[in-house]
């Protein structure tokens, strides 16, 4: 390679830089909006590291229609499912007011990690966690959007249905085990932290299992030390 030749960057890195330029921000300014370090933005634009799904979601919200679709699709969100929800934003409103309106209708992505086979974060009061980003979702995805919070899943215990690194939406108003048989839930135990697992009932026993473990060796039985925090109602996964 001749001196001075610059390797072509992937499209996602170019789009991040273009977003920053459209917002008339330097790297530090965009970093403040995304709650990351300026070095993280620099690495994204140089294609050293690719952002996680939660940051793509936030960038889509900042970008507005129509450029938001690229970032949301990069996060694993199918744009075709959301266009109906954003048609009202195609008015003569300023970009700033449109973004503010979208954020008021959006679901917060919390700075929380939930495990599948390994322990996740160990605070059951997830609503006290910082908000990393927000995501728009059609109202039919959840009847009680006000009680929905998004967390990031760590581990491949729920694969192939939910991949490692996915953002899962949890309806905190649905927490009664008797009504959640065979549903994927967010649970907490002081020794296990936050876990995303499927709740199954076998006779009088209620257990939490991981989909990837067909032998159910890793299943744990619910007792009074467990708390069901909510039901997983949808999730976003980055394209493979």
**240 — pLDDT class (breaks 50, 70, 90):** low
Report pLDDT for 101.
Answer: 53
Beta carbons within 8 Å of 115's beta carbon, 6+ residues apart: 153, 154, 155, 157, 192, 193, 194, 195, 196
Judge if 98 and 130 occupy the same domain: no
Task: Return the pLDDT at 132.
Answer: 84
Indicate whether 68 pLDDT > 60: yes
Same domain assignment for residues 75 and 117: no
Same domain, 52 and 77: yes
State yes or no: pLDDT of 81 exceeds 80.
no
CA distance 30 to 27: 5
Quote the CA–CA distance of 118 and 123 in Å, as a whole number: 15
Two tokens, residue 170: 């949890």
Average pLDDT over residues 48-71: 84
The counts of H helices and E strands in the chain are 7, 9
Is position 1 within any domain? no
Contact at 8 Å (CB) between 182 and 198?
Answer: yes
More confident residue, 2 or 60: 60
User: Looking at the structure, do residues 84 and 185 belong to the same domain, yes or no?
Assistant: no
């Amino acid at each position: 390679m001749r001196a001075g030749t610059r390797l072509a960057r992937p499209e996602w890195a170019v789009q991040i830089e273009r977003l920053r330029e459209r917002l008339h921000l330097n790297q530090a300014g965009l970093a403040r909006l995304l709650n990351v370090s300026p070095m993280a933005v620099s690495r994204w634009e140089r294609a050293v590291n690719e952002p996680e799904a939660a940051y793509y979601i936030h960038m889509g919200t900042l970008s507005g229609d129509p450029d938001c679709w690229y970032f949301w699709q990069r996060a694993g969100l199918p744009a075709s499912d959301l266009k109906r929800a954003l048609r009202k934003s195609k008015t003569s409103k300023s970009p700033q007011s449109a973004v503010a309106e979208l954020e008021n209708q959006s679901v917060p992505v919390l700075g929380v990690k939930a495990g599948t086979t390994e322990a996740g974060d160990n605070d059951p009061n997830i609503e006290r966690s910082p908000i990393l980003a927000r995501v728009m979702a059609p109202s039919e995805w959840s009847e009680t959007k006000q009680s929905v919070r998004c967390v990031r899943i760590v581990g491949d215990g729920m694969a192939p249905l939910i991949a490692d690194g996915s953002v899962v939406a949890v309806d905190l108003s649905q927490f009664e085990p008797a009504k959640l048989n065979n549903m994927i839930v967010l649970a907490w135990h002081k020794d296990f932290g936050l876990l995303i697992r499927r709740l199954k009932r076998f006779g009088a026993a209620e257990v939490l299992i991981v989909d990837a473990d067909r032998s159910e060796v890793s299943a744990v039985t619910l007792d009074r030390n467990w708390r069901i925090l909510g039901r997983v109602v949808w999730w976003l996964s980055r394209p493979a």
